[in-house]
Amino acid sequence: MKTFCGRANPTTGALDWVEESEEYDYHQEIARSCYADMLHDKDRNEKYYEGIRAAVSRVKARGERVVVLDIGTGTGLLSMMAVTAGADYCYAIEVFKPMAQAATCIVERNGFSDKIKVINKHSTEVTVGPDGDMQEQANILVTELFDTELIGEGALPSYEHAHMHLVKASCEAVPHRATVYAQLVESDMLWKWSQLQPIEVDGNKLQPPPAVVKCAGAPSVCDIQLSQVPPESFTPLGPICTMFSVDFSKPVSSAAQTYTAQFKAQTSGRAQVVLSWWDIDMDPDGDIVCTMAPSWNYSDPRTYPVSTAD
């Protein structure tokens, strides 16, 4: 059995799955991961539970047996939410073997093993049929495949395969849709992150060569909480733009696509950094929203949801 481990690509922000040797310490990998952060993210978990309950209710209202496919189950939390909400059965997929083993244990200890099957495979390797991993196609698709850039964690290939092979054409999806926003800004502070700065070593100041200082470096993704970036450290050059939206309840394509957004400049300056975040609607009507928007985007800070997700 191959065991894969996620590795972040610093240039694209994508999560690449690489095979590790048997000697690799996966306990340390789990300890350094964000599983604990997600489990303690109250706003995220409440929104997921609301969305799952609403999806289960919609399927039951159609008189259908509720079968859930949970891709990237992690600890199995969302699968257990689905069964608690009334799902008849749930297939929980997790490619990271140590995490799949943990999910199996957690599901058993909480008394859900008769309604949740943990599958230690990449979702694109899962099969449906009498001899397959799944006995039937699901009518609810639940996922937590998102990263800083929303779909950099191999989300689109997984969604594409799921809609082709693992779920029914009329399936519900939680989240239902996602929207990515961006804002072009000028910020000397953020711009310096892509440059080598002088450092002090034993009282001596090491200065990079001028040619190196002038090099802008490779365009890269910085995984940060935008709420921690002080508004006074950047100058918006234009309005917040809606870059694109994805409906996860419908078939998606993993092929490369280009989206263009135009905006009217609000002020003069140097276009140095693009700030980006996203929202996910847990239901078709957009009544249950989990947002990654920074706190300074709220006119009333008291309405900002307390979240640890990126």
Residue-wise pLDDT for 257-295, tens only, equals 888 888 889 999 999 899 999 999 999 999 999 988 998
Q: Token pair for residue 190?
A: 């953020």
123 plus 227 within the same structural domain: no
CATH of the domain at 82: 3.40.50.150
The pTM assigned to this predicted structure is 0.80
Contact residues for 97 (Cβ-Cβ < 8 A; gap 6+):
1, 3, 4, 26, 120
Ramachandran bin of 63, using left for φ above 0, alpha for ψ from -120 to 50, beta for the remaining angles = left
Shared domain for 21 and 161, answered yes or no, is yes
Q: Considering the candidates 50, 94, 149, 153, report the single residue annotated as catalytic.
A: 153
Distance CA 94, CA 101 (A): 9
**CA torsion through residues 180, 222, 237, 217, sign:** negative
Q: Do both 186 and 151 map to the same domain? A: no
Q: 239 and 98 in one domain?
A: no
Out of 144, 160, 200, 232, the active site residue is 144
Known catalytic membership, residue 200: no
23 conformational bin, left if phi > 0, alpha if psi -120 to 50, beta if neither: alpha
- 308: in domain: no
Amino acid at 241: C
Residue 50 has pLDDT above 60, yes or no: yes
Same domain, 130 and 34: yes
Q: Do residue 30 and residue 107 come from a single domain?
A: yes
Task: Specify the CATH number for the domain of residue 255.
Answer: 2.70.160.11
By residue range, what is the domain housing residue 66?
Answer: 4-175
Structure tokens at 230: 């002080």
Q: Is 64 one of the annotated active-site residues of the chain?
A: no
**Coil, helix or strand for 142?**
strand
Distance CA 154, CA 52 (A): 22
Q: 260, 192 in Cβ contact below 8 A? A: no
pLDDT in tens, 99-150: 899 999 999 999 999 999 999 999 999 999 999 999 999 999 999 877 666 7
